[in-house]
Each structure stands twice: as C-alpha cells, then as structure tokens.
C-alpha cells in the first residue's frame, strides 16, 4: 500500500499551481502547492499533478506510486491506531490490577491484625481460666473463640481465590497458617485441665501455662508472617 | 470385591452446632454422647464413617479426643483400620489433624490412664 512513498521523478516545474486548499488531514501542513513550490526541493519536483497526488496520498485516498485509488487504509491508519489502543488497554489493565492487589493486601493485613487481637484476647481468657477456679461459662467462651479463630485462619487463602490468573496479590502458600500450630494451641487450651479435669487453679509459672503461652507465640508468629508477606 | 457401606455424619446438622466437653456428666453435646450416638454402631457393623466437622461453633480438644480416641479404645480398633474407616471432612486443617492424632494415640492414652 502507500505506507512507503517513493518520490517520483521530478516533473516539469509548475506553470500554474492550483490555489485551492486541499481538504485533507495534511492540509494544515501543505497549505497550498504554491507554497511548496517556493522551496528549493519543491522547485525540483513540483507540478500541479504532483501536488495533487501528494495531497491525495497524504489524505490516503490515492496511491502515489501506482496513481490508483487506495484499496484500504488499514496499513497506514488502522494498524498504528490498533496498537496504540491495545497498549492503552494493557496499561490500564496492569494499573488496575496493581491497584486491586494493593487494596487486597491491605485487607489481608487488617484481617490478620484483627486475628492477632483475637488471639491475644483468647490467650488472656485461657490463662485466667486455668489459673482461677473453674468457670463453666469460660469453657464455652474459650471453645467458641478458639473455633472462630481456627475458622478465620483457615479462610485466609480465600482472599485470593477469586484471582484466577497471574498477578496474585500474595502467593497462596504464604496465606496458609500451619494447621499443626493451631492444633497445638487448641490442645494447650482445651485438652487437659479443662472441664471436669480442672481441679484447681494453676500457678502462672506452671508448665501447662508456659506451654499455652508458647503455643500462642507460635500462632502469632505465623500470623505475623502472613502480615509481612502481605506488605506492598 | 465387597462394597463397604459408608455412613455420613454431619455434626452441625445431626448432632449440634455447639459441641460441649468430654463426658456426658459434664453437660449436653459431649464427645462421649457423640461417640455413642453416631460412631460406635456403624463401626461395629463394619461400615466406614465420613464425619463432617464444619458448621459448628468450635471444638474443644477434649470433645474430639473422647469422641474419636474413645471410639478406638471402646471398640479396640486397629489404628490403621480406624484411620481407614473414619474419614474426616473439614475446611479447618487443625481439626482433622487433631482427630487423626487422637485416633493414633488412643491406645497409648488408654495405657497411660490404666497406668
């Protein structure tokens, strides 16, 4: 097509150049063939027909080389436009995705922060329960809060489940809290010295309480790990 | 090849959403009660049990130990056989790990108790 325009052999100098302004996209540049003819290069190769050809060719209505009406303007106009549009869309998708991931990571951090608070509350509750006289209400509360914490931890990977392809906000494996740590925590709080086995208050330095605190530390470390992995 | 019959037990739907403590004497919905109502009979009949743990408020370890470990002790099941015939379905990994551990250690807990 007319994407590469060879300059034809210089025709005879213009005898009388047309004075009409060509109605084309290039008309702002090529105001009139007369002006073109005034330049040195134009002097060499300008004629009324050539000027007309140039104008038609620039406006994509005629092929300069073959002097035939242009069959299609895709090569000169549509292709560059399509590439530009595609680049704009791809850029928009990347920016949108990055912004969405940033928001998702923020949500994860807030969620984990709340879980840490719940864990702290649960630890205090369990320590008070085991270091005081038995209270059945506290047993139910511990089971309930523990269950809620376990379920909340197990739902963490769901934050990115809706992200099906590339550019996940966080790697899925980074959101997984080791089930073993949760298991140890629950055993430390509810397996022994719980229910009718609660025969009396334990001391704060009792191994049972120390194990409970240790199990809490392990879970908190796992949660902090998730929070750090969810930083920008 | 004989087909092993399977029984599905959903704790939240068939038992309670608020599991309690270890023994019946400690209150309603205990691990002991769950074991007697849902686990012993099918296992005695040679069936496989699928226990769905989700949908409840939470479990105390004492509940799970008494329900599952207690079943192994009461029926004197072989550990491998028990692990094959008691399947746990849950989205909370720590519950599944806990049950499996109580099945594995049921006999040693019994021994410790006897000792």
Instruction: Give the pLDDT score at A47.
Output: 58
Instruction: Give the pLDDT score at A60.
Output: 53
Which residue would you say has higher pLDDT here, A87 or A231?
Answer: A87
Task: Pick from A126, A130, A195, A197 the residue to mutate for testing the B interface (most B CBs within 10 Å).
Answer: A195
Instruction: Give the pLDDT score at A28.
Output: 47
Instruction: Give the pLDDT score at A129.
Output: 95
Range B12-20 average pLDDT: 95
Question: Which of 28-87 (A) contact B at CB < 8 A?
Answer: none
A182/B94 CB distance under 8 A: yes
| DSSP annotation string for B43-103 | HHTT-EEEEE-TTSS---HHHHIIIIIHHHHHHT--HHHHHHHEEEE-S-HHHHHHHHHHH
Give the distance from residue A88's alpha carbon to the nearest chain B alpha carbon, in angstroms: 42
d(CA A85, CA A88): 5
d(CA B30, CA B16): 10
| DSSP annotation string for A175-202 | GPPPHHHHHHHHHHHHTSS-GGG--SPP
- Looking at beta carbons, which residues of chain A come within 8 Å of B95? 150
Task: Pick from B32, B53, B62, B90 the residue to mutate for testing the A interface (most A CBs within 10 Å).
Answer: B62
Contact of A135 with chain B, judged by CB distance below 8 Å, is answered with: no
By Cβ distance, the residue of B21, B65, B92 closest to A154 is B92
Least reliable range by pLDDT among A60-64, A104-108, A151-155 = A60-64
Among A51, A7, A8, A10, CA closest to A32: A51
d(CA B79, CA A167): 45
Task: Pick from B16, B22, B59, B94 the residue to mutate for testing the A interface (most A CBs within 10 Å).
Answer: B94
- Looking at beta carbons, which residues of chain A come within 8 Å of B22? 194-197
Residue A41 has pLDDT above 80, yes or no: no
Alpha-carbon distance values, A3 to A28, A52, A82, A123 (Å): 20, 18, 16, 75
Please give the ipTM for the structure prediction: 0.82
Q: Which residue of B has its CA nearest to A150?
A: B92
Neighbour-count burial of B112, counting CB atoms closer than 10 A to its CB (0-12 exposed, 13-18 middle, 19+ buried): exposed
Instruction: Give the pLDDT score at A196.
Output: 85
B57/A190 CB distance under 8 A: no
Instruction: Give the pLDDT score at A66.
Output: 60
Range A148-160 average pLDDT: 89
Q: Which residues of B25-46 are buried (b: 16+ CB within 10 A; e: fewer)?
A: ebbebbbbbbbbebbeebbeee
d(CA A125, CA A189): 10
A148/B96 CB distance under 8 A: no
- Looking at beta carbons, which residues of chain A come within 8 Å of B19? 143
d(CA A95, CA A172): 22
d(CA A209, CA B13): 35
In tens, the pLDDT along A57-98 reads 555 555 555 666 655 555 667 778 889 999 999 999 989 888
The tokens for B56 are: 């409840």
Least reliable range by pLDDT among A37-41, A132-136, B108-112 = A37-41
Give the distance from residue B75's alpha carbon to the nearest chain A alpha carbon, in angstroms: 22
Question: Residue A13: which residues within 8 A CB-CB, separation 6 or more?
Answer: A37, A43, A46, A47
- Of the spans A160-164, A170-174, B80-84, which averages the highest pLDDT? B80-84
A147/B57 CB distance under 8 A: yes
B22/A145 CB distance under 8 A: no
Among A39, A35, A41, A1, CA closest to A17: A35
Would you mind telling me the total number of residues written for chain B in this entry?
A: 115
Q: How does residue A218 score in pLDDT terms, banded at 50, 70 and 90?
A: very high
Residue A1 has pLDDT above 50, yes or no: no
Range A130-153 average pLDDT: 93
Least reliable range by pLDDT among A108-112, A158-162, A179-183, A192-196 = A158-162
Contact (CB, 8 A) for B103 and B75: no
């Amino acid at each position: 097509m007319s994407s590469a325009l060879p300059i034809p052999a210089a025709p005879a100098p213009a005898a009388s150049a047309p004075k009409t302004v060509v109605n084309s996209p290039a008309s702002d540049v090529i105001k009139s063939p007369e002006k073109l003819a005034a330049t040195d290069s134009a002097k060499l190769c300008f004629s009324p027909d050539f000027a007309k050809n140039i104008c038609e060719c620039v406006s994509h209505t005629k092929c300069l080389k073959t002097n035939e009406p242009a069959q299609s303007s895709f090569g000169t106009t549509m292709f560059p436009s399509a590439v530009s549009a595609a680049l704009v869309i791809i850029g928009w998708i990347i920016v949108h995705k990055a912004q969405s991931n940033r928001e998702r990571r923020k949500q994860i951090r807030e969620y984990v922060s709340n879980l840490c608070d719940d864990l702290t509350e649960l630890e205090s509750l369990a320590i008070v329960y085991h270091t005081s006289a038995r209270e059945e209400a506290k047993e139910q509360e511990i089971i309930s809060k523990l269950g809620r914490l376990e379920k909340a931890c197990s739902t963490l990977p769901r934050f990115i489940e809706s992200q099906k392809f590339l550019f996940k906000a966080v790697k899925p494996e980074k959101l997984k809290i080791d089930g073993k740590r949760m298991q140890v925590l629950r055993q430390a709080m509810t397996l022994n010295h719980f229910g009718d086995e609660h025969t009396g208050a334990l001391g704060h330095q009792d191994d049972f309480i120390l194990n409970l605190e240790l199990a809490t530390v392990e879970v908190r470390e796992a949660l902090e790990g998730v929070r750090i992995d969810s930083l920008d | 090849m004989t087909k092993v019959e399977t029984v599905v037990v959903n704790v939240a739907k068939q038992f309670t959403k608020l599991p309690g403590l270890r023994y019946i004497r400690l209150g309603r919905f205990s691990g002991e009660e769950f074991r007697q109502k849902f686990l012993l009979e099918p296992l005695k009949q040679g069936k496989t049990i699928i226990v769905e743990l989700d949908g409840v408020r939470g479990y105390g370890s004492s509940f799970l130990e008494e329900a599952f470990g207690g079943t192994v002790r009461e029926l004197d099941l072989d550990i491998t056989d028990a692990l094959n015939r008691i399947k746990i379905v849950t989205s909370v990994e720590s519950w599944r790990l806990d049950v499996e551990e109580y099945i594995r250690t049921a006999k040693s807990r019994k021994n410790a108790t006897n000792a």
